[in-house]
Amino acid sequence: MRESVRLNLHGSKTRVIFDIDEALPPVEIDPDQMHQVFGNLMLNADQAMPEGGDLVIRLRRGSLPSVAGNTSGDDAAVIELIDQGEGIRACDLDYVADPYFTTKKDGTGLGLTSAFWIIQGHHGHLELESTIGEGTTVRIFLPFSRSATTARRGGLLKSPAGVHRGRILIMDDTLQVREVLRMMLESLGHEVVDTPDGKACVEAYRTALTERNPFDLVILDLTVPGGRGGSWTFKQLREFDPKVSAVVASGYSNDNILAEPRAYGFKDRLQKPFLIAKLKTVVDNVLAKGRK
């Protein structure tokens, strides 16, 4: 965390005040992903205080709030980032974690989105509280580790337990779709390579095979305007790897392949826009079968 502060706020007018309870039990995190989360959050706080101000980073003990999918009430580490910035309008608060929501001229709107997903991938929870003109508090809850083997003090170095890491190749012609899909999959713990068209996808798949680092799964966009879409790509892939695992993705629901993906050799289908819970189920299922 201190490392993140040094990297992200170097030379800024923001003053960071730590308030850390050092005696907390460990939590299991993926260090790269957590760096990404704190980087995004610190950048937001910094940008909200262009004239400078205090950013309090507090770590304390608390309990998981009751939100869907969580065992609420469990003991958890609570990390708060409290800034004195411009704040978020109440009407925007529900939308700030949506992909592409931004109020900045050159914002991407992906910082909070990825933070939110990554924390979810750690079985935690992220919430925001803000008063316009006074500041914003981002609060992250992370459950304490249950396994005694990882219980070394401050041992924040393990990946979330039970995550099936896969190597996933994606093909979609739209940059934004690729970015969101990549972020979702990475927040679920997978390694992702993305390609913009069928030809690049086939090339990447073949290279990986010859380098003996094959992909476990390919997610193919069905329709690529004027180009070689999911069907064409799938046919090519099957020619040099008959056992390729592929999932078809589309925004159109009235297509034959999408209606009956298995009849065409696909393992499953994904309807756009992607929902992370659905994506997780489909990917976990296909990966689990592929390993049998």
Ligand X SMILES: Nc1ncnc2c1ncn2[C@@H]1O[C@H](COP(=O)(O)OP(=O)(O)O)[C@@H](O)[C@H]1O
Residue numbers of the site for ligand X (CB under 6 A)?
Answer: 40, 44-45, 48, 83, 85-88, 96, 101-104, 107-113, 136
**Of all residues in this chain, which one has the CB nearest to ligand X in the complex?**
111
Nearer to Mg ion, 184 or 237 (CB): 184
Nearer residue to Mg ion within complex by CB, 38 or 266: 38
Question: For ligand X, which is the closer residue by CB, 97 or 270?
Answer: 97
Cβ–Cβ < 8 Å for 120, 187 = yes
DSSP state letter for 18: E
Alpha helical stretches, state H, the chain: 2-8, 31-48, 111-121, 175-187, 198-210, 230-240, 256-259, 276-290
Strand partners, 21: none
Binding at 159: pick from ligand X, Mg ion, none (beta carbon under 5-8 Å per type):
none
Contact 159, 30 (CB under 8 A): yes
Considering only residues 26, 39, 99, 111, which one is a binding residue for Mg ion as defined by CB under 5 A?
Answer: 111
Closest contact distance (angstroms) between CB of 130 and ligand X is 7
Q: Which of 50, 47, 39 shows the shortest CA–CA distance to 3?
A: 39
Residue 156 binding: pick among Mg ion, ligand X, none (C-beta 5-8 Å cut-off by kind)? none
- Closest approach, Cβ 240 to ligand X, in A, equals 40
DSSP 8-state class, residue 159: P
Minimum CB separation of residue 266 from Mg ion in Å reads: 36
Least distance from ligand X to the Cβ atom of residue 290, Å: 34
Nearer to ligand X, 73 or 107 (CB): 107
Residues 194-213 contacting Mg ion, CB under 5 A: none
Are the C-beta atoms of 221 and 173 separated by less than 8 Å?
yes
The interface partner of residue 109, options being Mg ion, ligand X, none and the CB cut-off 5 to 8 Å by kind, is ligand X
Q: How many CB atoms sit inside 10 A of residue 110's CB?
A: 18
Kindly indicate which of the ranges 29-37, 111-119, 135-143, 163-171 contains the residues binding Mg ion, using the contact rule CB under 5 A: 111-119
- Evaluated on CA atoms 43, 49, 52, 58, the torsion sign reads negative
Closest separation in Å from C-beta 59 to ligand X: 18
102 contact choice in ligand X, Mg ion, none (CB below 5 to 8 Å, kind-dependent):
ligand X
Q: Which is nearer to Mg ion, 111 or 198 (CB)?
A: 111
Minimum Å gap between C-beta 40 and ligand X is 6
CA angle 221, 225, 229 (to 5 degrees): 40
Closer residue to Mg ion (CB): 36 or 195: 36
Whole-number Cα distances in Å, 165 to 47, 188, 271, 284: 34, 8, 22, 9
Q: Which one of Mg ion, ligand X, none is in contact with 113 (Cβ closer than 5 to 8 A by kind)? A: ligand X
Nearer to ligand X, 86 or 241 (CB): 86
76 CB contacts (<8 Å, ≥6 apart)?
A: 27, 61, 62, 63, 64, 124, 141, 142, 143, 144
Work out which of 14, 33, 44, 84 binds Mg ion, going by CB under 5 A: 44
Question: For residues 37 and 39, what is the distance between their CA atoms, to the nearest angstrom?
Answer: 5
For 87, half-sphere exposure in the C-beta direction (CA atoms, 13 angstrom radius) is 10
Interface residues with Mg ion (CB under 5 A) are 44, 111
